[in-house]
Structure 1
Amino acid sequence: MMQRPFRPEDYSLMEASPHLGGGAAGYDLVEQMQYLYVRVVKAKDIPSKDITGSCDPYVGVKLGNYMGITRSFENTTNPEWNLVFAFSKEHIQSSVVEIIVKDKAFVEDDFIGQVLFELNEIPKRVPPDRPLAQQWYPLEERNGHKVKGELMLAVWVGTQADEAFNEAWHSDAASIPAEGLASIRSKVYLTPKLWYLRVNVIEAQDLIPSDRTRFPKVYVKAILGNQALRTRVSSPSRTLNPIWNEDLMFVAAEPFDEHLILSVEDRIAPGKDDVLGRTVVSLQHVLRRLDHKLLPNCQWYRLEKHLFVDGVQKKETESPSRIRLRICLEGGYHVFDESTHYSSDLRPTAEQLWKHSIGILELGILTARGLLPMKMRDKRGTTDAYCVAKYGQKWVRTRTIIDSFTPRWNEQYTWDVYDPCTVITIGVFDNCHLNGWENGARDSRIGKVRIPLSTLETDRVYTHAYPLIVLTPAGVKKMGEVQLAVRFTMSSLLNMMHLYSQPLLPKMHYVRPLSVVRQDNLRHRATMIVSKRLCLAEPPLRKEIVEYMLDVDSQMWSIRKSKANLFRVLSTLMPVAKWFDHISHWRNPLTTIVIHILFVILVLYPELILPTIFLFLFLIGVWHYRRRPRHPPHINIRISFAEPESAHPDELDEEFDTFPTSRPPDIVRMRYDRLRTVAGRIQTVVGDFATQGERLQSLLNWRDPRATALFATFCFIGAIVLCVAPFRLVVLLAGLYTQGSATIRPLFLSTSSGGSQQELIACCKLDRPLLYTMPSSR
């Protein structure tokens, strides 16, 4: 497939002007779409056309070239279907809708009767109007004569705001088999509430080892579902009462139907362990801890040893062994299942600690344009696109638009907002399960969009076309555009301002902080639990979708990300150094004179230093107001170093490599050597910071006796001069000398290595970060 030529403007955010207004409450961010709805409820007294007297009736709803069919019931004259058919009015090419009742036969189905409706006589319904009442209609022959039997129907014209829209059979899915219909409908999913389970393993007593001739090397293994952790191995000592006092942390999901299994095991030899006892704890009875003040009590649990007699497991209940534990479910934390930079929820787990909602987020998923073919069907490229949006515990999935590169969804969803410094994520995918869920296929990624709520003005509707950008082994690629409408409505400005004065995370994260390594492990386990639960829904939200939305692989290392992060650090420091260099070299004489005058005033009147700094920051903020962003941020491929001229093919191939690697040894060796080169440069920069600190320290520790003697003499003379001369005069002369010096080099480049800033940048030209958008934070 030929790749499109690279044009930077294709990767930027673009304003859009869709025709919004769905005509119903809660549907004003999407375009109104008209549908003809036919609800087939049931039939009675259906006559039999078979010589055997049996009747297997079904109903077909025909409108032009579209035909929807219910399932057939065997040997009944009073079937009940309760099925809704929806036909898009844009594709209607007939003025009559035919509801036909037939008897399923082995060779050719028998016609029983029909009901006809003229489209111009069908009533319209717009929610919040109540649903249309169902009525009995007599069946007619093709010539208009009445026949025995009646059909209960409801026929109306509505919009996508109708409650029957989601569960209806749609005319554009006429080619989809029955087993695939569930996979194309729009759904709302709720993720389980997650808690941290802390197990403090304190000690064990009266253990009975199998080998009485040695003292055991004991550890405790804890299992919760598919999570398994263990303590350190106790050092061998002449006692059967080992002490650990070690914390093990799990992620548990409500309704806590899993049990915590703890076993005390003896390390006999490498790879060979003997179970000394086991206990099972039900999470239903574990204390739920909401803050750091509530400390659960320690409890003793009896260890049961399991014996196998003739292959049958038996329990030895008279064992005196026991273990002392402190177990609690901690709801004062927020359990992350996504990156903290792009979190959609920062509340603690326990609802008792939740604050009131500060507003409502409304999202209208409108259309997509220019989607690329994602698979082959009937020897031609096609795409069956749907969207998934995630915010907080609520996930939504739009219906799948079959075989279209410009799908129109026009579906609207709402979320309660508890914190403005959160992010909503919208992903677009290609449905590969139209024939059912058991064929082993994986839905393909088309692209992803993130919108930080902190960048949205309240009560304003944002309508933009977001480019769908993915990073592939061949480089950055635009997969199309998705058009969204977003509105953030604030309920109270006072509550909003109060939130900005509060810490970003719940109190427990600061009072009892978790280590970075532990938090990464817990986040991985939380992601796996969310993925497993959503896979069990109907229709399932599959694992590859959940992992892509939650950025499961964001912690994977790549040389591209590392060097790009270095560039981000340099880009923060370099403007300050450049500004100081311009002042020192009198690039703008007027600015340099103003800075010197300001410096003299601040030295003579030091009480003006802090007011001047704050005034300066205020003026910068006012100056930037006229150039403030007018649309939400989006992926910047230039900052991300994802442009074709910056993306080296081998580095991209390395980033998409599996773990462990699947590449040949010579390729791995080459990449390792390159890693050493880049890491050496980064190591040099970090080492230069350390060198400057060590040099300052060495001036006083007589490592270099001559330098220390000179510095001590200088300090003595300086002390005398500062006692005699006014301090302000000394600061003034030192500042003027520094500002008037001929050249200035940043500290992080003035090193013994002699490397210049240009050399460092040239070394890092190989790099790009992950497709990067500035995260919002307080």
Structure 2
Amino acid sequence: MSTQDDYKIKDTKPQLGERWPHGGVRGGGGWISSERTASTYDLVEQMYYLYVRVVKARDLPPNPVNGNCDPYVEVKLGNYKGKTQRFEKKTNPEWNQVFAFSKEKIHSSVLEVFVRDREMVGRDDYLGKVVFDMNEVPTRVPPDSPLAPQWYRLEDRRGESKLRGEVMLAVWMGTQADEAFPDSWHSDAASVHGEGVFSVRSKVYVSPKLWYLRVNVIEAQDIESEDKSQLPQVFVKAQVGNQILKTRLCPNRTTNPFWNEDLVFVAAEPFEEQLVLTVENKVAPTKDELVGRISLPLHIFEKRLDHRPVHSRWFNLERFGFGVLEGDRRTERKFSTRIHLRACLEGGYHVLDESTMYISDQRPTARQLWKQPIGILEVGILSAQGLLPMKSKDGRGSTDAYCVAKYGQKWVRTRTIVESVSPKWNEQYTWEVYDPCTVITLGVFDNCHLGSNEKPDSRIGKVRIRLSTLETDRIYTHSYPLLVLQPSGLKKTGELQLAFRFTCLSLAHMVYLYSRPLLPKMHYLHPFTVGQLDSLRYQAMNIVASRLGRAEPPLRKEVVEYMLDVDSHMWSMRRSKANFFRIVSLFSGFVSMSKWISEVCQWKNPITTILVHILFCILICYPELILPTAFLYMFLIGLWNFRFRPRHPPHMDTKLSWAEAVHPDELDEEFDTFPTSKPQDIVRMRYDRLRSVAGRIQTVVGDMATQGERLQSLLSWRDPRATSVFIVFCLCAAVALYITPFKIVTLLVGLFLLRHPRFRSKMPSAPSSFFRRLPARADSML
């Protein structure tokens, strides 16, 4: 059973890279300048590997039986064996493949490299070998150049005589900072074969550059209908990939319809899809007639970086009908119908592909509009501890974990550690930061694509870190709990150990950014509607998932959707409760202040009330002290709260998320599909519950509207008597305030509010009763 302490961040003290005396950094080996660069490996523990690069072979002897040679190389170190690709009928093969053996698992004093030939009978024929003494292997220290491979003459099994043929090899000892590390065959993944080998490697991905395609459909000319007796009533349907939008139906039946309507799509470079426009005639409520169509490549449209106008263009439509000579075959015929468009690719916007609460990039699409970075974010993905078995392999629990980090357009994926509940990655990555008010997201997944029974990768947990909560130039080393909300409830699936540092390049520039708009200029000059933003964000997420899924190895759709919080907009009773209590917590300070003021007015503590009277009288006598006193008070509160500032970056709060006390049926509803897949009686029960909750919300919203309408009715003469009384009161108050000094009025009002309880009545005051009697528009509602 998990406790609340299991959900908290823990400090760790990993053995990170050491600093060299002259100010450089030793991380991943070698001298590195004190200026932070992507090659700085000082946030992770050094892990040493024996690297073997098999380049090529030459002059290999053919098989005496069939005269062919199908060579491959086997690299053996103790109990670990790695094999290269096998070539057929080639005596001078080229492999250029790297093998990596973890130093922690090396228990042999020699490294053997065998060159073998695959015989037809299924037995490997020995062609020769090369043996290396582990004590003689050199150590390569980046940023030194790669070790040059050498030709080695093949030896017989005893290593006494030279055989025909040579193999080109390079053998060295290095760390995970070596550039050969990501593409190496690793000995700890020796059980992975076939296509699964590619999915265990670490990779860096870049999100496609996304543009907003704005199509302003203006008008069309010479629309023809099949039924010549009726004028057409048409609309335009536009499609880009899977995105389909329609204009409104032209209100008039005419051959020259007019719309002047904007349709906005998301498009990704390189532009593979085309803009397909079809003009359709509404023949019947359920029947549309194709009038004409045109397909336009996206690269022909202008790329607009600001709000400058775009020139419109006319395009001839193509119509499809049935030819007489060809029978029923569809043929194409051109005619004079034209459509008037104004279309452009807008790069002045930032195309949102993630939830606005966790946005990691706020730059516009066009690189010409980017500013200089204000900092560098370095993240060391160290290890994970106590991961739960995510699948069964050979009758026992197993986890093949990898970590994905996403910030801005750059995605990184660590290598997969096979069959380990305590994987050690020790990989470091760097991002440029353009805005500190952004979030980096890290997720841990179980690789389910290493064998034949492939299924979606399982979620192990996720961590979010907001950069603005980090102190600059400080190394954070923490262990984050990995939490997953499942239909059975909240579950801790392990811990992720991270080291990260945010380096500020210009403090003045970073502070200046706090006064700048959050999004690019075009979002405010030509804003989108809420409905448009939701639709465009969903389409952008689909495009990013599709493009990253086509990489090798693919970053699969389930991973991208989990990292981008694709389901954050779906209804959840748990999230609704959490947001309600967030609002309650937000107003708790105001509630506490109002209670304190009420206690002062009620003389619960006479000494406090007398002190408030004295302070009030001083401020009335010296009104110029009011604002300085208020700001000084906030300054002192800020200094006092400095002692209680958070020592750790914020993490998932299980109590805030209402994840611990949520009802099982509410969780089951949250994980239900859309549309629902539940039986009718469960859906009816949930619908009734939703109606009950929505009814309470409806009542609260109605009460707020009623108070606003009563305030509005003071001068609207909806209640003539009440308005008459109020305007007479306003006249008397204006005369009285004009004659009486403002200090005296304020003093009298303050003393009246602070009067002793013996001078108070438990009945509502006259102004309150008058306000509650005012009419609202609720009487006019059905």
TM-score by length of 1: 0.91
Would the aligned equivalents of 1:288 and 1:331 in 2 still touch at CA under 8 Å? yes
The Cα of 1:702 is off from its aligned counterpart by 5.3
Aligned to 1:287: 302
Which of 341, 346, 365 is equivalent to 1:330? 346
Does 2:369 match 1:353? Answer: yes
Superposed counterparts of 1:483-502, under 5 Å: 483-502=497-516
Change in CA separation of 1:66 and 1:440 when aligned onto 2, cut-off 3 Å: closer
Does 2:552 match 1:538? Answer: yes
Aligned to 1:207: 223
Does 2:109 match 1:95? Answer: yes
Secondary structure in 1 aligned to 2:88?
A: coil
Would the aligned equivalents of 1:358 and 1:492 in 2 still touch at CA under 8 Å? yes
Would the aligned equivalents of 2:75 and 2:81 in 1 still touch at CA under 8 Å? yes
Change in CA separation of 1:79 and 1:213 when aligned onto 2, cut-off 3 Å: same
Does 2:28 match 1:23? Answer: yes
Distance in 2, Cα, partners of 1:741 & 1:164: 82
The Cα of 1:283 is off from its aligned counterpart by 1.8
- Letter of the 2:674 counterpart: F
Distance in 2, Cα, partners of 1:475 & 1:736: 55
Change in CA separation of 1:51 and 1:716 when aligned onto 2, cut-off 3 Å: closer
The Cα of 1:200 is off from its aligned counterpart by 0.6
Superposed counterparts of 1:33-52, under 5 Å: 33-48=47-62, 50-52=64-66
Would the aligned equivalents of 1:259 and 1:283 in 2 still touch at CA under 8 Å? yes
- Letter of the 2:3 counterpart: R
Distance in 2, Cα, partners of 1:255 & 1:75: 40
Aligned to 1:455: 469
Which of 410, 418, 432 is equivalent to 1:394? 410
* Alpha-carbon displacement from aligned partner over 1:453-502 (angstroms, at most 9, x marks no partner): 11111111111111111111112111111011111111111211221121
Which of 601, 606, 611 is equivalent to 2:628? 611
Superposed counterparts of 1:612-691, under 5 Å: 612-643=629-660, 646-691=661-706
Further displaced range: 370-379 or 100-109: 100-109
Aligned to 1:525: 539
The Cα of 1:548 is off from its aligned counterpart by 0.6
Further displaced range: 367-376 or 64-73: 64-73
Would the aligned equivalents of 1:583 and 1:739 in 2 still touch at CA under 8 Å? no
Which of 414, 435, 438 is equivalent to 2:451? 435
Superposed counterparts of 1:286-325, under 5 Å: 286-292=301-307, 294-309=308-323, 310-317=327-334, 319-325=335-341
* Alpha-carbon displacement from aligned partner over 1:699-751 (angstroms, at most 9, x marks no partner): 44555566555545544543444344333222223234335576999xxxx99
Would the aligned equivalents of 1:202 and 1:326 in 2 still touch at CA under 8 Å? yes
Would the aligned equivalents of 2:224 and 2:232 in 1 still touch at CA under 8 Å? no
* Alpha-carbon displacement from aligned partner over 1:20-73 (angstroms, at most 9, x marks no partner): 113344111110000001111112222345433332222111111111111222
- Letter of the 1:402 counterpart: V
The Cα of 1:203 is off from its aligned counterpart by 0.9
Q: Unpaired segments of 5 or more residues in structure 2?
A: 18-26, 30-38, 773-782
Aligned to 1:163: 179
Aligned to 2:5: 9
Further displaced range: 661-670 or 673-682: 673-682
Does 2:586 match 1:566? Answer: no
Does 2:481 match 1:476? Answer: no
Would the aligned equivalents of 1:423 and 1:450 in 2 still touch at CA under 8 Å? yes
Aligned to 1:771: none
Would the aligned equivalents of 1:372 and 1:383 in 2 still touch at CA under 8 Å? yes
Change in CA separation of 1:639 and 1:594 when aligned onto 2, cut-off 3 Å: farther
Aligned to 1:189: 205
Further displaced range: 717-726 or 517-526: 717-726
The Cα of 1:127 is off from its aligned counterpart by 0.8
- Letter of the 2:427 counterpart: E
Does 2:458 match 1:444? Answer: yes
Distance in 2, Cα, partners of 1:740 & 1:564: 40
- Letter of the 1:14 counterpart: K
Distance in 1, Cα, partners of 2:511 & 2:386: 41
Aligned to 2:287: 272
Superposed counterparts of 1:499-518, under 5 Å: 499-518=513-532
Secondary structure in 2 aligned to 1:732?
A: helix
Distance in 2, Cα, partners of 1:333 & 1:71: 47
- Letter of the 2:559 counterpart: I
Aligned to 1:758: none
Change in CA separation of 1:592 and 1:132 when aligned onto 2, cut-off 3 Å: farther
Does 2:737 match 1:722? Answer: yes
Secondary structure in 1 aligned to 2:652?
A: coil
The Cα of 1:615 is off from its aligned counterpart by 2.0
Change in CA separation of 1:712 and 1:359 when aligned onto 2, cut-off 3 Å: closer
Secondary structure in 2 aligned to 1:553?
A: coil
Q: Unpaired segments of 5 or more residues in structure 1?
A: 755-778
Distance in 2, Cα, partners of 1:356 & 1:590: 57
> Percent identity of the aligned residues?
63
Aligned to 2:21: none
Would the aligned equivalents of 1:300 and 1:323 in 2 still touch at CA under 8 Å? yes
Distance in 1, Cα, partners of 2:542 & 2:567: 12
- Count of matched residue positions in the alignment of Structure 1 and Structure 2: 740
Q: Which has the higher contact order (CA 8 A, sep 6+)?
A: 1
Distance in 1, Cα, partners of 2:274 & 2:355: 28
Superposed counterparts of 1:130-145, under 5 Å: 130-145=145-160
Superposed counterparts of 1:398-413, under 5 Å: 398-413=414-429
Secondary structure in 1 aligned to 2:497?
A: strand
Would the aligned equivalents of 1:35 and 1:89 in 2 still touch at CA under 8 Å? yes
Superposed counterparts of 1:100-139, under 5 Å: 100-105=114-119, 106-139=121-154
Q: Over the residues paired in the alignment, what is the CA RMSD in angstroms?
A: 2.3
Would the aligned equivalents of 1:584 and 1:740 in 2 still touch at CA under 8 Å? no
TM-score by length of 2: 0.91
Secondary structure in 2 aligned to 1:304?
A: strand
Aligned to 1:66: 80
Distance in 2, Cα, partners of 1:159 & 1:594: 69
Secondary structure in 2 aligned to 1:166?
A: coil
Superposed counterparts of 1:722-741, under 5 Å: 722-739=737-754
Does 2:502 match 1:464? Answer: no
Secondary structure in 1 aligned to 2:626?
A: helix
Aligned to 2:432: 416
Change in CA separation of 1:273 and 1:695 when aligned onto 2, cut-off 3 Å: closer
* Alpha-carbon displacement from aligned partner over 1:535-582 (angstroms, at most 9, x marks no partner): 111111111111111111111012222232222222212221222212
- Letter of the 2:532 counterpart: R
Would the aligned equivalents of 1:584 and 1:592 in 2 still touch at CA under 8 Å? no
Change in CA separation of 1:710 and 1:273 when aligned onto 2, cut-off 3 Å: closer
* Alpha-carbon displacement from aligned partner over 1:369-421 (angstroms, at most 9, x marks no partner): 01001001001111000011111111111100000000000001111111111
Distance in 1, Cα, partners of 2:682 & 2:769: 34
Secondary structure in 2 aligned to 1:284?
A: helix
- Letter of the 2:341 counterpart: L
Change in CA separation of 1:627 and 1:223 when aligned onto 2, cut-off 3 Å: same
Does 2:60 match 1:55? Answer: no
